[in-house]
Structure 1
Amino acid sequence: MTTTGFGFHSLPAELEAHEPPEARGLTRDRVRLLVARRAGNVVSHQRFSDLPALLEPGDVLVVNTSATLPAAVPVAGGTLTVHFSTERPDGSWLVELRRNTGKATEPYPAAAAGEHYPLIGGATLILREPFSAGRLWVADVDTAMPGYLTAFGAPIRYSYVRQRWPLSYYRTVFGTTPGSAEMPSAGRPFTDRLVTRLVCAGVQFAPVLLHTGVASPEAHERPYPERFAVGAHTARVVNQARAAGGRVIAVGTTAVRALETAAGADGVVRPAAGWTELVVTPTLGVRAVDGLLTGFHEPRASHLDLLAAIAGPRLLETAYAEAVRGGYLWHEFGDSNLLLP
């Protein structure tokens, strides 16, 4: 896994979104939208609610229908929290152990294979083996999931979010199937009204499913399998749009991974379901996606490679330099970025 080499090396603290836009007096669809176009390498400043005017009739928005789980569970009687990331094909889970710091959590590096951790609600977590870079563990849990998380978990929250918010703030209008450890946040700014306006403007929606794990792996971390599904209806809509000259715009990196996993070498999307470990890079490129609607990603995140595969490194560098200069907000409650051909 490699990271694009453009000059975005640190995120200024003032660009972190500390609370949902609703707490800042905005509706979801009034966050800022930086539009970057590969043709001419130009950017413009909009609001997310301007989206119907920025897209064209016949464009397809591919959206992820995965809903966020309350995936953070305290260790009973201790100062640790377990972040449940991803259920694996054999029924084990990838988890991250975090130490409570009062307001949020920080990585806990002292765990060891074979350790048992009692969780609230009477469950027990058993660490099998390390998975990647001292962060994720393969673990077993002796209770039925994800029902246990629904009963005892809370949304995953990092230190830049200063207070707890209900699960509803971490779900999108498209989320119908619970399964993601963290919100597929590119879809968060959509509202029912905005979706209606887009449909009336001739924009189509195509659903995919990808249950995403904990925050984007850094460049040194191995990818992990995530459950996905691309149905026959979505395959047909995407293929027909491309044949007619329409643009396929993925809403989030999760939608890209699902759709590209289902795309053949000929660019044709076929129904598919199962587990994907696909890592999209500029070298690999994309076959079915023309554009991307996403949030802003942190330095060293592997997702920057995916963005470069769609937008090209030059446009990506231009967009991120302008986002920093313009004071756009990062993270799941932040602003949005539309990358167009």
Structure 2
Amino acid sequence: MAGEFELIKRHFHYPVSHSVLGVGDDAALMQPRPGMQLAVSTDMLVAGRHFFADADPFLLGWKTAAVNISDMAAMGAEPRWITLALALPEADEAWVGAMARGFRDCCEAYCVDWVGGDTTRGPLNLCATIFGEVSPDKAVRRTGADHGDDLWVSGWPGMAALGLAHLQDRLELVSDWREACLERLHRPLPRVALGLALRGVASAMLDVSDGLCGDLSHILEASEVGAILDETLLPLEPLLAACKRTEAATKALLSGGDDYELLFAAPREQRGHVEAIGRHLELPLHRIGRILDKPGLWLQRGDGVAEALQAGGFDHFQTD
């Protein structure tokens, strides 16, 4: 059985493209480009909480990198460097090798240098830290949403939640859509190009990890505003096709999470610009509501009646 340092040498040493020094010393050396600010974020994935203990290690490696890269996309920052700290119940080299390949493949897909990390014995846990760059005053924060702004979301949020419900035997999916939902759950695609394109366009932004309503509440609280979603504008089509149940599709969209799509506000006068960005990137961008000047979150039904929505998202300390 390989030891810690042999595992690191075999599976965590990769060439770097824009770093002074990568894995192999006491610290990596990174040189931000002149005039750029550093954006830094950390995400931890814990077995039994964020993924099944028997999850495919390649896909788990991909997702661990992807959810961190998505944090850079959410701020309009360019992801540049990443580290990975890994706790393992045992030194299973085949598992480590597959996980490392998935992590590396995601990093390479988004031009991110894997520059270091750590391994130890313990309950299965993967914790990555991502470093990105953004020009001063160009980062898109959660604090800028204003009364009258449009609310937008990218892609088809809710598909990952349907995939999880299927794996948990809570919902049977149509066979033609099953793999697509599972792919969204296991292999999210960070919207880096969209995040970069929305700098100077979006007034507030984040990625949808804990559910659309729950994550939207963070924007509303930070910006001291409210919002109303329009039921007729919600992108439910693929969700309805996948599960054939309106209630399940709507719940997945509004509270499912794990899609890592971008949810953002933008001034109404930017509507044409946002639509042009979607066409250029060949990525669906859905206008789903608007920002209000009073606190709270509502859903306007097709008949025009507005009802209050619960804004709570996934809580890691909530009792199951």
Whether TM exceeds 0.5 here: the answer is no
Give the number of the structure with larger relative contact order, counting CA–CA contacts within 8 Å between residues 6 or more apart. Answer: 1
TM-score (norm 1): 0.23
Answer 1 or 2: which has greater helix percent. 2
